[in-house]
Amino acid sequence: MYQALYRKWRPRTFSDVCGQDTVTTALKNELQTGRLSHAYLFTGCRGTGKTTCAKILAKAVNCQSPVEGDPCNECALCRGIDDGSVLDVTEIDAASNNGVDSIRELRDEVAFTPVSGKYRVYIIDEVHMLSAGAFNALLKTLEEPPAHVIFILATTEVHKLPATILSRCQRFDFNRIRPEAIAARIQYVAEQEGLTVTEEAAMLLARLADGALRDGLSLLDQCASVARHIDADTVAAVTGMASQEVLAALTACVAAGDAAGALEQIDRLHRSAKDMERLCAEWVTYMRNLMVLHSVKEPGELVIAAPQELEQMRKAAAGLGLPTILHIMEVLQSTLERLKGGVSRRVEMEMAVLRLCDPRLDTGTAALLHRIETLENQVRSGVPVAQTAPPAVPATPVSATAPATEEPPLPEPPDTAKPEAPTAPAASAPGDEQPFPQWAAVLEVLMTSCPPLFGVLADSSAILKDGKLLICTNNPLFSELIKDSGNQKLLTEAVQKGTGSSYRLGLRRTHVVAKQEADPLTQLLAAGRAAGVPVTEKE
Ligand SMILES: Nc1ncnc2c1ncn2[C@@H]1O[C@H](COP(=O)(O)OP(=O)(O)O)[C@@H](O)[C@H]1O
Ligand SMILES: [Mg+2]
Ligand SMILES: [Zn+2]
């Protein structure tokens, strides 16, 4: 009969248990010095060795020739306990047994001395499942345990235990097992079973196991049923996990704005029955790794990956700016939320990649930052910011073909409330508009004091009207940026520095319909305004 790998390779000594050194060292010490407790409580995540250690402890206290606290696994008692013929060790699964009855029986039994060993040992697994009545019965026994009785309680949910029980037990916390330790154990078991597992595959399995060695070994079992040689592709195929290459390719597509490529990837994954929610979650994790690699020099255990994967991710991270990474994560996170709602998954994923490929379709803060970053890079690398919009305002009074709208003055930063500051040259006549040649000097100041503002204003101009300085721009990012009081202040300062005077500032927006196809966001904003709809932030 086939025995699952995780059962077959259940450690039989404390020394064989991996990743729980604090627990196993302490237990071995107690065993060697004979300072045993009457009740132990093993808590921690599933699949980390609680039941395993309970079984080892039960043997170790009864073993006829223990070795440094470990059971010998050879003497009559060890073997009897293993095959269930020694009746002094009782395992109760609180999750399946009728709790109250078995605990009552136990209460009547404990008074009797052990039959063949030194101790009667009761292992109560998943002890949090006991009913209130059973807990009370257990408590009675725990209050005055006979000297020859040892209880080992194990649970994943220690918070469900009554304080009266907790206070009577010596508690041991089992940690999640570190991925390296899981990968090493997977390699060990594979070797014993005549399987070969690549380092990358072992690491992938370890990552999927998420701290639980049992899960890691179960996954190995699944892989072993399709191949004797297990590599990353085997793992990806068996677990339905998207390989790192797929995630890297998707990310590269959206970063390059390659919508066709991204949709093609989604289509391929969809056809190979890849679950879109899972894909989205894995992509989020991948981007999260890029984020960490971008921000931390020595990520250590923050990023779990095989060395070559790590190298690949490092490169990918370096090629993307942090705002871009955060933007992708933000879109994916909200997509993940919606995918959970059971919408059409494929469509949802496609919408996400489209939004990612064209940040202009997205008005979220992260998207705006991403756009600013792109502009900054263009400015820095000397690429002239594209002159998509026509010179915003003709030097002559606005003609009927380009109707201009004037918006309310920009909010004044708090510390610039100074009506009597060196006043601007008075306008010649109310309603008159004059070009404002010093604007270039203002922009020059902005270039160093506030590159993002400079980026969005690079192709703007300005006019003077009624003593007010109206900035002429169609760039919707400007309206976003100027909401920030820090930016307002920087702009006011730049005007002061570039012109030597203070002006009240305003925004002049020209709606030049013919040229607007360049920016869907502008269209959207303009349409909203025309309809009197307040244009709000995204979603
Ligand atoms: N720390 C560990 N060292 C080695 N193997 C482990 C460890 N933890 C779990 N395993 C493997 O997982 C299986 C299940 O572990 P178990 O002790 O039953 O976990 P739980 O903590 O859920 O009681 C074991 O049979 C063993 O193969
Ligand atoms: Mg268990
Ligand atoms: Zn023994």
> How would DSSP label each residue in 464-494?
EETTEEEEE---HHHHHHTTSHHHHHHHHHH
What is the pLDDT of the chain when averaged over all its residues? 82
Using the mean position of ligand 2's atoms as its centre, give its distance from the Cα of residue 126 in Å: 7
For the CA atoms of 261, 267, 273, 279, the dihedral, rounded to the nearest 10 degrees, stands at 50
Q: Where in the chain is the domain with CATH 3.40.50.300?
A: 5-174
Confidence label for 538 from pLDDT (cuts 50, 70 and 90): very low
Q: Where in the chain is the domain with CATH 1.20.272.10?
A: 245-377
| 514 has a pLDDT exceeding 50 | no
Using the mean position of ligand 3's atoms as its centre, give its distance from the Cα of residue 491 in Å: 81
| Closest by CA position to 11, among listed 60, 63, 45 | 60
Using the mean position of ligand 3's atoms as its centre, give its distance from the Cα of residue 76 in Å: 7
Q: Whose CA is nearest to atom 17 of ligand 1?
A: 49
| Closest by CA position to 497, among listed 424, 422, 441 | 441
| 426 has a pLDDT exceeding 80 | no
Taking the CB of residue 300, how many other CB atoms lie within 10 A of it? 8
Which residue ranges have their beta carbon within 6 Å of ligand 1? 6-7, 9-11, 17-20, 46-52, 154, 177, 185, 213-214, 217
Q: What is the DSSP string of 299-336?
A: -GGGS---HHHHHHHHHHHHTS-HHHHHHHHHHHHHHH
Using the mean position of ligand 2's atoms as its centre, give its distance from the Cα of residue 502 in Å: 74
Residues 453 and 410: their CA atoms lie apart, in Å, by 14
Residues 463 and 432: their CA atoms lie apart, in Å, by 10
Q: Whose CA is nearest to atom 20 of ligand 1?
A: 47
Ligand positioned closest to the Cα atom of 66: 3
Residue of 9, 10, 57, 217 to test ligand 1 pocket, by largest number of atoms within 8 Å of CB? 10
**pTM, whole model, 2 decimals?**
0.60
Angular region, 424: left φ>0, alpha ψ -120 to 50, beta rest = beta
Residues 110-159: pLDDT tens digits?
A: 888 888 899 999 999 999 999 888 888 899 889 888 999 999 999 999 99
Top-level class of domain 5-174: alpha beta
Q: Do the beta carbons of residue 56 and residue 71 sit within 8 Å? A: yes
Using the mean position of ligand 3's atoms as its centre, give its distance from the Cα of residue 94 in Å: 27
Q: How many separate helices (H) and strands (E) can be counted in the chain?
A: 23, 12
Give, rounded to a whole angstrom, the gap between the first and last alpha carbons of the chain.
56
Give me the phi and psi of 465, to 5 degrees please. -140, 125
Taking the CB of residue 81, how many other CB atoms lie within 10 A of it? 24
Asked: is 245-377 a CATH 2.60.40.1150 domain? The reply is: no
CATH for the 179-239 domain, from 1.10.150.20, 1.20.140.10, 1.10.150.120, 1.10.8.60: 1.10.8.60
Q: Where in the chain is the domain with CATH 1.10.8.60?
A: 179-239
Taking the CB of residue 372, how many other CB atoms lie within 10 A of it? 19
Task: Provide the pLDDT for residue 244.
Answer: 80
Residue 298 buriedness (CB in 10 A; 0-12 / 13-18 / 19+): exposed
Classify domain 404-415+426-530 by CATH number.
3.30.300.180
Task: Provide the pLDDT for residue 98.
Answer: 62
Task: Provide the pLDDT for residue 190.
Answer: 97
Beta strands in 368-448 (DSSP E): 404-406, 433-435
Q: Do the beta carbons of residue 67 and residue 181 sit within 8 Å? A: no
Neighbours of ion ligand 2 (CB under 5 A): 50-51
Average pLDDT over residues 436-457: 80
Q: Where in the chain is the domain with CATH 3.30.300.180?
A: 404-415+426-530
Residues 372-424: pLDDT tens digits?
A: 877 887 777 766 555 444 444 444 343 334 344 444 455 544 444 444 444 44
| 212 has a pLDDT exceeding 90 | yes
Sign of CA dihedral 81, 85, 89, 95: positive
